[in-house]
Structure 1
Amino acid sequence: MAHEAVSSSSVTGEHHNATAQPENTTPKANLMGMSRAELEVFFEGLGEKKFRAGQVMKWIHQYFVTDFAEMTNISAKLREKLERISEIKAPEVVHRNYSKDGTRKWVFRVGDGAGSLVETVLIPADDKTGARKTLCISSQVGCALDCSFCSTGKQGFQRDLTSDEIIGQLWVANQSYMEDVEIAERTRSVTNVVMMGMGEPLLNFKPVVKAMSLMLDDFAYGMSKRRVTLSTSGVVPMMDKLSEELDVALAISLHAPNDALRNELVPINKKYPLEQLIAAAQRYIRKDGNESARKHVTIEYVMLDGVNDQAEHSQQLIKLLKDLPSKINLIPFNPFPHAPYGRSSRNRIIAFQKALSDAGFVCTIRQTRGDDIDAACGQLVGQVADRTRRAEQWKKKVAQQGEIIRSQG
């Protein structure tokens, strides 16, 4: 909390009107991304009791209130103080689009000034538990890993997101269903979260863990740890660190059943090859406290025509995963401009699924959604500025390869 400065003139009784005191420029604390422990420290610093943290968390994350004046179980004096020194601020929505299939997409501006842009996608579906709404959240502006089949990777890496910016995506998605609902009747609509948007979550570890802890906190979103999933391309040391700090479901962006092919598709494999990756996944499952979220690992496998979808690949995948409790999610590739790959045929994907199912694996085919708003997996690129010129270089490389093929023909 800021304190007013006392000048020598106020002590001596002298007044010099020509010299104005500088205004307090201390930025307001954003309560959006604070953990319960951080909020307790914040309120104790104001001379308040710890329980105020839980009260405010509920107003923010369960009733989607950002105006302190609407927090009716907090005294007027404290509300006024909070208004002066703090704020509740989600990332700015600069674009939103709702697909005809129910998918919702938001483009957020993060940072000061023109800032940078990130995208978030909500995918609805029905399952045995009823209506499911899964939110795919971004953790970074762009991505440094440059997977060859991913449009986001072609934009390069700009910066990590803060915990405010990460949890703010979940806040906006929930609030979008509650805009015309009375405060007392508001509920949390998003049922599942996957850290599977722009960026590699484990390369932005602390803000991601803090945001996911808020998702699990009963004073915030109170989500089941089985319904909160972190997806990684295979940052092995951080997988081990995650197992020490948080119990959530784990997904691995695998996409290839052997090192030679995965080195091409997912370059981080050159640093952490498949043997190390599978061992880390096994350690994650065996970690104490695995009663629910860690019973298995979800394997994500994008289907690329003629690249990783052959019968030999399914047999290699079966051998690779034989000692890892896992569920396999086959993802039809979503082409983007200048992509060097095509989508596997429906028949090829079904044959691949059958081979895995016959081997005893639970294997599903992801339903492609949100194509009409560029919201499908691998299309989370939108209007993000290409500050590293990676996309330009990629397009040039593809054009050169095309020219070589034409000249040889």
Structure 2
Amino acid sequence: MPLQNIIGLSREELITHFQAHQIPKFRVQQVWNWVYHHGVTNFDRMLNISAAMRQQLQEVFVIERPQIATSQVSNDGTQKWLLRFNDNQEAETVHIPEVDRGTLCVSSQIGCTLTCKFCHTGTQTLVRNLTSAEIVGQMMVARDVFGEWPSPVGNRHVSNIVMMGMGEPLYNYENVKKALLIIMDNEGICLSRRRITLSTSGVVPMMQRCGEEIGVNLAVSLHAVRNDVRDHLVPLNKKYPVEDLLDACRHYPGASNSRRITFEYVMLKDVNDSNADAKELLRLIRGIPAKINLIPFNPWPGSTFECSSAMRIEEFASIIQRAGYPSPVRTPRGQDILAACGQLKSASERQRKSKLVEAGTPMAAA
């Protein structure tokens, strides 16, 4: 039997595994601290555990991260890692350094369930969901790169997480939930839920659960204010139209003026960038504690859209701001290495379904 990876297991699962192998329950806390606070990669470094117990652990478990297949650094300091998993499938993770923070853009799927027309990832069919271990592993790899073990208390290179990489997080909900709860655990990586943002294209039935069970900040990939336009840009809209999506946002647990819902809006020339679009956007979000992130379209090979002009984006933003909503224009980062918003894609291909079933790999429901 293959060894069980400890990374990605919840505390409850770890207790169950330990009990099955006659390992005392109190060892869970020790191992958890070594893995997630100190970032160790082998049991021999767990110095408060006896040599005999470390040997027993090694016979059952491994501590395994994804491997960095390639690493690229943009001329603006953004880093992109192509991470390879045990089945040789790959996904991309991006680190964006800023003056007051460092944000890690984390993937939840290899490929994507959705086919958003302006997004490079959407041109890659879904290969599979990432496991909780593979999601947590992205954070741990970044910590490895920056030498941030043990978990630092003060300034961090990785101070924030956005679930905005490859995939739709709410179509891999259980694995995303488990991973984020591990990352937020205050006896390990210890990242505050206020520093984590989950982005969804609008999987309406899962939004309430996300707020109640994970409690992280919510970002919604809106991108259009009329159903006909959004049906084209974000085909998921045909299932959960704008009105239903905005209603779910109004009822998102924890949303307030101090924890606003972020609406992401990619600026596409002559598609969704008119003054009338801006005014309709204001009407739609009335009563929702919100900010609007305007994203200049980042081109990718084969894309047919053009970015709105700087003047058009400025006018659109002004309409939103005059109504009292924050409306920052996102500065493109990592464009030269295809690491900017909407540019991520890997070369992984979907295996035959029979192989995925044999491997026990969960697939997302479209």
For the pair 1:156 / 2:125, whether they are aligned, the reply is yes
Distance apart, 1:190 and its partner CA: 1.1
What is the rounded CA distance, in whole Å, between the counterparts of 1:346 and 1:383 in structure 2? 33
Higher relative contact order (CA 8 A, sep 6+): 2
The alpha-carbon deviation at position 351 of structure 1 amounts to 1.1
Determine the C-alpha separation between the residues in 1 that align with 2:320 and 2:300. Answer: 28
What is the letter of the counterpart of residue 338 of structure 1? G
Residue in 2 that maps onto 1:279: 247
1:349 aligns with 2:307: no
Aligned to 2:107: 138
Kept in 1: contact 2:37–2:151 (CA 8 A): no
Contact 1:226–1:293 under 8 Å retained in 2: no
Q: Encode CA deviations 1:45-89: one digit per residue, 9 max, x unaligned.
A: 333443322222222222221111011111111111111111011
Asked if 1:369 corresponds to 2:333, the answer is yes
Number of the residue aligned with 1:122: 95
Show the 5 A alignment for 1:359-398. 359-385=323-349
- Find the counterpart in structure 2 of residue 247 from structure 1: 215
How many Å apart are 1:185 and its aligned residue? 8.7
Q: 1:63 aligns with which of 38, 48, 54?
A: 38
On the 8 A contact 2:117/2:232 being kept in 1, the answer is yes
Q: 1:387 to 1:339 in 2, by over 3 A?
A: farther
Which residue among 52, 58, 70 is the counterpart of 2:27? 52
Change (3 A) 1:294 1:140: farther
Aligned residue number for residue 176 of structure 1: 145
3-state SS, counterpart of residue 80 of structure 2: strand
Offset, 1:243: 2.7
| 2:204 is equivalent to residue 204 of structure 1 | no
- Report how far residue 186 of structure 1 moved: 6.4
Distance in 1, matches of 2:6 and 2:152, equals 20
Task: Count residues in correspondence.
Answer: 350
* Partner residue in 1 for 2:297: 333
Q: Is the 8 A contact 1:117 1:385 kept in 2?
A: no
Offset, 1:41: 2.5
Secondary structure of 1:362 counterpart: coil
Bigger mean CA deviation after superposition, 36-45 or 75-84: 36-45
| Identity between Structure 1 and Structure 2 (%) | 45
Query: TM-score, normalising length from structure 1?
Result: 0.81
Whether 2:278 is the aligned partner of 1:314: answer yes
User: Quick one: distance in 2 between partners of 1:240 and 1:346?
Assistant: 36
Shift of 1:378: 0.9
Give 1:122 shift: 0.7
The amino acid of 1:160's aligned partner reads: N
Rounded to whole Å, the distance in 1 between the matches of 2:226 and 2:146 is: 43
TM-score normalised by length of structure 2: 0.91
Which of 323, 328, 344 aligns to 2:287? It is 323
* Cα drift, residue 382 of structure 1: 4.0
CA distance in 2, matches of 1:261, 1:148: 11
Whichever residue aligns with residue 214 of structure 1, its letter is I
* Amino acid of the structure 1 residue aligned with 2:92: E
What pairs up with 1:230-269 in 2 under 5 angstroms? Answer: 230-269=198-237
Once the two structures are TM-superposed, the CA of residue 229 in structure 1 deviates from its matched residue by 1.1
178, 193, 196: which one pairs with 2:161?
193
- Stretches of structure 2 lacking an aligned partner (at least 5 in a row): 353-366
CA distance in 1, matches of 2:24, 2:237: 49
Whether 1:28 aligns to 2:3 is: yes
- The unaligned stretches of length 5 or more in structure 1 are 1-25, 389-409
- What CA deviation, in whole Å up to 9, does each residue of 1:112-147 have, x standing for no partner? 2xx221100011112xxxx30111111111012100
RMSD of aligned residue pairs (Cα, Å): 2.0
| Residue-by-residue CA offset, 1:146-203 (whole Å, 9 max, x unaligned) | 000001000111111101111100100111011xx8x669676411111111010000
Aligned position for 1:20: none
User: Which secondary structure does the structure 2 equivalent of 1:123 belong to?
Assistant: strand
Which of 205, 215, 220 is matched with 2:183 structurally? 215
